Structure 1
């Protein structure tokens, strides 16, 4: 329930009182169960990331590496992965400056997320030795694309960028 609230309202500026009210409890009870607000947020981030990774795991295999990139982008843009990614970006910004528990949770989330991408690529016929390299490139590009989304980048330009990425990654094979 806390994860759903954060996915709907965001992480930055999160206040325990409205969260507790939404959950039908008190902010003191949240602290009793989680210890600190940071630990509650860390649990929310882990749950959110697990949901995103499960969505990728549920994807049908793609026909080839190029289509896998396109299918992964479509999945990343759909709910719930899109909302989970936005929370990840917020936590990453906090973790970038070494703020804990964000830095540690983001590192762990990266490992889970990357494993989901690699697994999808392998299920799609990508060689085991190439899949991690392709996943790293895809993940980095997707993160950049997602950071630009609120900037009203032309959808046609974004589609071209995704197609270019798919061609580039496919050329690795």
Structure 2
């Protein structure tokens, strides 16, 4: 009978994998060179993650803050704004701050190589968008406005993360994040866009 995977060893490998992918990029990910870089074998990567897709999915999951927890107790616009600010801090100051690079790489690749990376990019958006949309509804927004507000928070903060990584101008980007959160949460109604 095969021995069950060791969760501590899997977590240790996952940390090393994510650290490596942040430095080298994910575009031409190959399991054999990755295994060598993190001090294991391709066979062990397959044992712990199944395949290349499973490894990417695990790395993405490991790299994202627990958005469900951050937005769990939202029931007012004020708490929604506070949770959105907490998300910004998690992305730019917390343990995940270095992990944002991996997310941005996968999202970019999902547009240029959609057959390979599209599912991971969509999942990365949905897994964050869904709990924030729920939080907007719990704070009193109608369903359609909740989805729009959550999209503004998710996509806006993600864009500001990229700006911060590129420019390192924290004061300006923090001010923009505060304005974005305020605009998303304390607006009477979203303007219609001509179609």
Mark yes or no: TM-score above 0.5.
yes
Shift of 1:32: 5.1
| 2:106–2:121 CA contact under 8 A, matched in 1 | yes
Instruction: Find the counterpart in structure 2 of residue 156 from structure 1.
Output: 171
Shift of 1:47: 4.2
**CA spacing shift, 1:68–1:131, aligned 2, 3 Å:** farther
**Which runs of 5 or more residues in structure 1 are unaligned?**
none
Residue 187 of structure 2 is aligned to residue 171 of structure 1: yes
Instruction: Find the counterpart in structure 1 of residue 119 from structure 2.
Output: 104
| 2:164–2:170 CA contact under 8 A, matched in 1 | no
Partner-residue secondary structure (3-state), 2:97: helix
Q: Which has the higher contact order (CA 8 A, sep 6+)?
A: 1
Residue 64 of structure 2 is aligned to residue 53 of structure 1: no
**Which runs of 5 or more residues in structure 2 are unaligned?**
1-10, 190-195
Shift of 1:111: 1.1
Residue 6 of structure 2 is aligned to residue 6 of structure 1: no
Quote the Cα distance in structure 1 between the aligned partners of 2:101 and 2:119.
Answer: 18
Mark the structure with the bigger radius of gyration: 2
Alignment match of 2:148 (pick from 128, 133, 136): 133
Map 1:82-121; keep pairs closer than 5 Å: 82-121=97-136
| 1:39–1:101 CA contact under 8 A, matched in 2 | no
The TM-score normalised by the length of structure 2 is 0.68
**Paired residues, what number?**
166
Shift of 1:38: 4.2
